[in-house]
Amino acid sequence: MHDPSLPKCFLSSLLLAAMLSVMPGGVISQASAQDAQVELEEGYVWLFDGKSLDGWEGNQDWFRVENGAIVAGALTKEIPHNEFLATTKEYGNFELKLEARLKGSGDNAGVQFRSSRIPDSTEVSGYQCDIGSAWGRPVWGGLYDESRRNRMLAEGDPKKVAEALKSGEWNQLMVRAVDGHVQIWLNGSLTIDYTEVDSKIAKRGIIALQIHSGPPTEAWYRNIRIRELPSSR
């Protein structure tokens, strides 16, 4: 019941306390307010609904949904080998947008595209938009060929990557693949403009989220959406 003798500020405090008591964990943080889903752009569809792993397949011992994001890995134990959570659908020409961040002592993850699972293995073969560091340098927004040619195909200018990267925070990534042309943006800065010269390289495949083997690490992925594109030919 409302007591008119109580000051408004005290009533506001009581209302906030009541709200906190019925929310999971009893905490409202500034970060949670900022983690709202982005508005879906015209022509795009969600690959991740923010609540479940519907439309994805992989070892759920290493992947879970938390606070509207897909969380890969763990902060409490080492990751014995690379693990991937993959779409059940394949994609050819597209624009893919998402946000990613890393937590923990490890610093390596990535987003596979035009890829395929390797039978009897946890590995995935194909293009990877790199996340984190490797060989003593940041490789965010780089293009790696995972379990196929096993090398960096292209890297962004180190100075531009350092300027664009928000270390420890959410970073926006966009991958555009049309026929043999692959482009990658990190926080709006173009890092990769690559043309595939090998006609045997697949131009269609799954999209997959990686957690790299190594020390305790979590890779967080959210707001994952895609727009399929026609061939340029």
Is the CB of residue 139 less than 8 Å from the CB of residue 133?
yes
For residue range 181-191, what is the model confidence (pLDDT) as tens digits?
A: 999 999 999 99
- pTM, 2 dp: 0.84
Site of tokens 């990267």: 165
Determine, yes or no, domain membership for 189. Answer: yes
Determine, yes or no, domain membership for 24. Answer: no
- Three-class SS of residue 12? helix
Is the CB of residue 109 less than 8 Å from the CB of residue 131?
yes
- What mean pLDDT do residues 147-175 have? 96
Determine, yes or no, domain membership for 198. Answer: yes
Domain span including residue 87 = 43-228
Determine, yes or no, domain membership for 13. Answer: no
Determine the pLDDT at residue 135. Answer: 87
Determine, yes or no, domain membership for 136. Answer: yes
Site of tokens 């895609």: 226
Domain count, the chain: 1
For the chain, the distance separating the N- and C-terminal CA atoms, rounded to the nearest angstrom, is: 71
CATH of the domain at 73: 2.60.120.560
Is a pLDDT exceeding 60 seen at residue 11?
no
Determine, yes or no, domain membership for 54. Answer: yes
What is the C-alpha separation between 137 and 140, in angstroms, rounded? 9
Q: Which two tokens stand for residue 83?
A: 């693990």
Determine, yes or no, domain membership for 86. Answer: yes
For residue range 131-145, what is the model confidence (pLDDT) as tens digits?
A: 999 888 899 999 999
Average pLDDT, the chain: 88
- What mean pLDDT do residues 103-117 have? 96
Determine, yes or no, domain membership for 1. Answer: no
Position 124 confidence tier, pLDDT thresholds 50, 70, 90: very high
